[in-house]
């Protein structure tokens, strides 16, 4: 699992994920992801075009990130998902976060 900052501007920050967002993936990027979101004062856009799998622990990480961003009054949106990943987010109740 990799996490990269693709773009940062006054309009928001775009983070690109690639690989599997499972337990080993969360171990690799979890601290970095939450650290980037800590007290962030702009919208966050998560590019999932290169994500091949999302497990429940990956969903938990995203939920924690969403809560952090929401507390600051901003939104977090997931974009460019495959149909399979999109379905996982819909089942998990993350429709509000899907772009």
Structure confidence at residue 3 as a pLDDT band (50, 70, 90): very high
Examine the pLDDT at 74 and tell me if it is beyond 80: yes
70: three-class secondary structure by DSSP = helix
Task: Write out the two tokens for 47.
Answer: 């590019």
Q: Which residue has the tokens 């171990």?
A: 27
Closest CA to 56 of 82, 28, 99, 91: 91
DSSP state of 40: -
Q: 8 pLDDT exceeds 90?
A: no
**Domain range for residue 15?**
2-97
Specify the CATH number for the domain of residue 42: 3.30.750.24
What phi, psi does 91 have (nearest 5°)?
-60, -35
CA distance 17 to 14: 10
Q: Across all residues in the chain, what is the average pLDDT? A: 94
- Res 99 pLDDT > 80: no
Contact 61, 27 (CB under 8 A): no
pLDDT of 41 reads 87
For 27-41, how does the pLDDT look when each residue is reduced to its tens digit (9 = 90+)? 999 999 999 998 788
Total domains, the chain: 1
The residue among 19 and 99 whose pLDDT is bigger is: 19
**Tokens coding 23:** 């337990």
pTM of the model: 0.93
45-65 confidence digits (pLDDT tens)? 999 999 999 999 999 999 999
């Amino acid at each position: 699992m990799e996490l990269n900052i693709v773009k940062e501007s006054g309009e928001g920050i775009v983070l690109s994920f690639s690989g599997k967002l499972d337990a080993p993936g969360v171990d690799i990027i979890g601290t970095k992801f939450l650290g980037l979101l800590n007290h962030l004062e702009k919208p966050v856009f998560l590019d999932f075009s290169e994500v091949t799998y999302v497990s429940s622990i990956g969903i938990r990480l995203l939920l924690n990130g969403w809560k952090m961003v929401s507390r600051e009054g901003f939104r977090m949106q997931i974009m460019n998902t495959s149909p399979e990943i999109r379905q996982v987010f819909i089942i998990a109740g993350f429709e509000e976060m899907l772009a």
